[in-house]
Every structure is written in C-alpha cells, then in structure tokens.
C-alpha cells in the first residue's frame, strides 16, 4: 500500500529538522577555529565526497547528473550560499532560538511566492499555520528592541534567501532527482567557499573538531535530501510550515549544549505551533482524500 503523501512529508521533514539542528551545533563549534567561509567549505567538501562515493558505488546515479536547467540551479545555489553564510553569522552571534525564530519569516515569503510562481492555492489552513507559527515563534522569542541588531538583520535577509531556495527546489524536483539537486549544490558551493578560505585551513582543525566537521558534512547533505523529498511529496505551502518545529527543538538543544536560557514560554510557543501544524495537516488530509 502506498504511503499517504502527508505521512511522507512529515517523515522527511522530521529528518530535515534533526539535520538542521545538527548543522547548527556543528557550525557553532567549528566557528571557534575556522572562519565562516571555511566552515561552509567543510560542509560542501564532505558532502561532495559523499556524493562522489555514491556515484562510484551506484552507477545509475551517473545518468542523473547531466547538466540541465543550469540557470535555475546556479541561481538556487548562489542564493543558498549567501543565505547560509548570513544564517551561520547569526548562529555565532545570537542564541539558537533567536536565529531560528527570526528565520521563520521564510514560510510567509514562501507561501506568497508559491502562489505567485508555482500557482499553488493559499487555503485557510495554510494561512492559519503560518499565522499560528509566527505567533508561536514570537511567544518563544518575545522580541524587544534588543533583537533588532545587525546580526538579526542578517538572519532576516537569510530567511528571504531561503524562501527563494524553497521555491527553486520545488521547481527543480519536477525535472531533476534529489541526488542531482544535492550533487550540483555541492559542486557549485565548494569553489565559492574556497574563495574566502585559507587553502590549508584543514591543517588548523584540531582533532577534537573532527566529529563536528563530519556531522556538518553529513547533516548538510541529509538536510537537503529530506527537504527535496518533502517537496516532492507535497506542496511548498504544506512542507515549509512543518519547519516551525525547529524553533522549540533548537531552543532545547541550545539549553542542553550551550547553557542558553530556556523557560516556560518556549513550551507555550510549542503548543501554538503544533496547533497550527495539526490543523493544516488535518485539512490537507481531507483535501487529498
């Protein structure tokens, strides 16, 4: 029996949530010894090694990486690198929960762009999950005037970039495999990262940071594997709101690993976010059936 598309979206996005959280921890740890270009180069380099290994052991993948829709591919990966750099800058200067909360302006942008570019319908439940998601984020963050600093603006700009990446990914999934999307991302972003890196930067990496480097490379690939397959299984306006769960998850991670403050408002925000997600999933299930 075929898996319900809603279930597939939820499962893939669960993998994405875990991957993005692992990336955040790895970037914070590695930034102590590497600049951000070098951190992102580690991600692309290890991801490229993974993809080349898969090409070597599974020859059918080789037919999937023929260049196609390269303008859109270059646009997606150029925008993604800039957004990732801005996001990583925020991770080094702001609490995890603040970065992830500010990033969630992206679903609103994505929903609007999906209607305009992809012709998707903006239903009541999809509007509702965005509104409740943003409300939950605001409850967790409770932003005051101190949130409006250059680092916060970097994250807000990154969120707009991610919205463009989400829409581009959805467009690419119509003609390209998930493997091809991730392969070309690593191929394009590796030389971009090297532009701002010391060619011998890996020699400065202490042995204690090797696990974080490996985690960054693996999670960098799996995050886009999960995201691409989630977009393949459902509309962008269904997939992206599920990403709101990253905020409470990363708040707990920041508390556990970096002694960042965690209070009852995080859990209040979780309930609001979950309410919106469950409403939207129920409405989508009824629409599909």
- In the chain (289 residues long), the average pLDDT of successive 10-residue segments reads 68 85 91 92 91 90 87 93 93 84 71 73 78 79 60 84 85 85 92 92 89 91 80 68 73 83 76 77 69
Total count of domains within the chain: 1
148: containing domain: 5-288
Q: Which of 189, 181, 186 is nearest to 229 (CA)?
A: 181
Q: What is the per-residue pLDDT for 36?
A: 93
Q: What is the per-residue pLDDT for 240?
A: 63
Structure tokens at 16: 């994405």
Q: What is the per-residue pLDDT for 121?
A: 75
d(CA 253, CA 99): 13
Q: What is the per-residue pLDDT for 184?
A: 93
Contact yes or no for 125/285 (Cβ under 8 A): no
Q: What is the per-residue pLDDT for 145?
A: 47
Give the 3-state DSSP-derived string for 126-178, with helices as H, strands as E and coil as C. Answer: HHHHHHHHHHHHHHHHCCCHHHCCHHHHHHHHHHHHHHHHHHHHHHHCCCCCH
Q: What is the per-residue pLDDT for 10?
A: 79
Give the 3-state DSSP-derived string for 182-219, with helices as H, strands as E and coil as C. Answer: HHHHHHHHHHHHHCCCCCCHHHHCCHHHHHHHHHHHHH
């Amino acid at each position: 029996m075929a898996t319900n598309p809603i279930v597939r979206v939820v499962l893939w996005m669960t993998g994405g949530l875990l991957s993005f959280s692992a990336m955040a921890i790895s970037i914070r740890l590695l930034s102590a010894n590497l600049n951000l270009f070098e951190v992102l180069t580690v991600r692309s380099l290890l991801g490229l090694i993974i993809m080349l290994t898969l090409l070597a052991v599974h020859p059918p993948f080789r037919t999937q990486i023929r260049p196609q829709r390269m303008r859109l591919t270059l646009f997606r990966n150029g925008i993604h690198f800039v957004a990732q750099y801005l996001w990583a800058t925020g991770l080094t200067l702001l609490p995890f929960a603040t970065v992830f909360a500010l990033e969630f302006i992206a679903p609103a942008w994505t929903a609007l762009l999906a209607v305009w570019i992809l012709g998707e319908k903006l239903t009541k439940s999809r509007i509702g999950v965005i509104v409740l998601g943003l409300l939950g984020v605001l409850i967790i963050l409770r932003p005051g005037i101190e949130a409006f600093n250059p680092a916060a603006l970097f994250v807000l700009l990154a969120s707009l970039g991610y919205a463009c990446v989400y829409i581009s990914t959805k467009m690419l999934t119509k003609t390209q495999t998930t493997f091809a999307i991730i392969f070309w991302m690593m191929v394009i972003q590796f030389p971009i990262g090297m532009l701002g890196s010391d060619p011998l930067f890996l020699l400065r990496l202490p042995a204690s940071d090797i696990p974080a480097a490996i985690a960054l490379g693996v999670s960098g690939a799996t995050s886009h594997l999960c995201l691409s397959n989630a977009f393949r299984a459902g509309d962008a306006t269904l997939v992206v709101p599920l990403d709101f769960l990253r905020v409470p998850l990363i708040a707990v991670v920041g508390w556990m690993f970096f002694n960042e403050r965690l209070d009852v408002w995080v859990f209040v925000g979780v309930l609001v976010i979950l309410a919106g997600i469950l409403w939207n999933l129920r409405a989508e299930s009824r629409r599909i059936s």
